Chains A and B, each alone.
Chain A
Amino acid sequence: MAVDLLSKLCLFFLKAGALSFGGGYAILHMLQSELVYRNGWITARDFADVVAIAEMTPGPIAVNASTFVGYRLLGPFAAILTTVCIVAIPFVIALAVSIGYQKVRDSRFMKQALSGIRPAVVGLIAAAGCGIADVSFSDTASVGIFLLSTYLLFRSRMHPIVVMLLSGAAGIVLYAVVL
């Protein structure tokens, strides 16, 4: 029974990994419909918790979800196995592309394609930033933190990790202690 469920879970996460184009938010809908509604492996409430945890913890949402579901259903070993499954196919494809890339890097075709993709990536990053801005700016304090951390990054050249930790500390002071 457990082995049956485990193999089903592994197959599902292999598939989810292979189909996860466009980052976390793009596959959120697919994960939800399959995990919650089609297979009933976790409840809708659990799924909302995974999303909240994924947003507040390091790591890609797909990886977090696979670890969480594996652990919830079958314990820590299954959690590691499901995580390996969701990473496996993207890893193999990216590795194949990396190996091939060194050979085709200097081809004119590749250069032209990359000259189009590079500016597009700027647009993709801007869109991702707006998506996070949508849920980040709730009051004047958050705008203040944004301005200050932008200054520290651009002007003071402070390390991104230090900026994150300082902003988090500012959040504790502002939201938990003062307000």
Chain B
Amino acid sequence: MLWSIFAIFFKIGLFTIGGGYAMLPALQAELTKHCLLTDEECLDAISLVNGLPGPLVVTGATFMGYRIRGIPGACAAVLGAVLPSIIVILAISSVFAGAIEHAWVRAFFAGARPAVCSLILYSAVRIARRAQISRAFNAALALATFAAVRFLGVPHAIVIAGAAFAGIAAGSFKKEAEKENGRGSAQ
């Protein structure tokens, strides 16, 4: 069990270029396929770790690994997620110092980068469905977040805190409204 957790995170860690957001759909696909986590749990993981310090890959793997198999699971997942990049960097800096300049290597990555965009789009669509993006309030939150991060450079931690606050405010507002309605219909 621990070995298969390690193996899954290692495999995804080894093959995903483009950082945490490109890793997510691959991880989600792999973990749900093996019935280790549900789509819901993956989304919770992604939502939560966004507000924490550290690379998304590290915090995401910790959370997902813990949900699967407690503290040993978290350790196996993080080790699996980080080990490929340590090995690759050590190999590059010690042996293949010139490889990154090689025309074929550059061409490979030039081809892979647009695919990273597709992966992220796929991830965004899949998560948007789960986040009930068709509701106006949710769509507005997503758009506001996009604008704040992309155009205004607001730090992620602040955006996440703001979104949590918006969720709590909307929730309390809805509860108040329901209370009012309940009183109205009782009379």
Contacts and interface: CB of A to CB of B under 8 A. Distances in A.
Interface of A: 17-24, 26, 49, 52-53, 55-64, 67-68, 71-72, 76, 79-80, 83, 87, 89-91, 93-95, 97-99, 101, 105, 108-109, 111-133, 135-138, 142-143, 145-146, 149-150, 153-154, 159-161, 163-172, 174-176
A128 B128 CA distance: 15
A119 B104 CA distance: 40
A171 B93 CA distance: 24
Contacts of B92: 53, 57
Contacts, number: 361
Interface residues of B, number: 107
Interface of B: 11-22, 24-26, 29, 43-44, 46-59, 62-63, 66-67, 71, 74, 78, 82, 84-86, 88-90, 92-94, 100, 103-125, 127-128, 130-133, 137-139, 141-150, 155-157, 159-160, 162-168, 170-172
A142 B120 CA distance: 16
Contacts of B142: 119-120, 122-123, 126
Nearest to A166: B115
Contacts of B100: 49, 52-53, 56
B123 A125 contact: yes
Contact of A94 (B63, B109, B127): B63
B186 to A, nearest CB: 23
Nearest to B28: A160
A135 B112 CA distance: 12
A111 B171 contact: yes
B114 A90 contact: no
B166 A17 contact: no
Q: Identify the interface centre among B88, B110, B145, B149: most chain A CB within 10 Å of its CB.
A: B110
B167 A117 contact: yes
A24 B150 contact: no
B58 A91 contact: yes
A121 B122 CA distance: 14
B85 A90 contact: no
B2 to A, nearest CB: 16
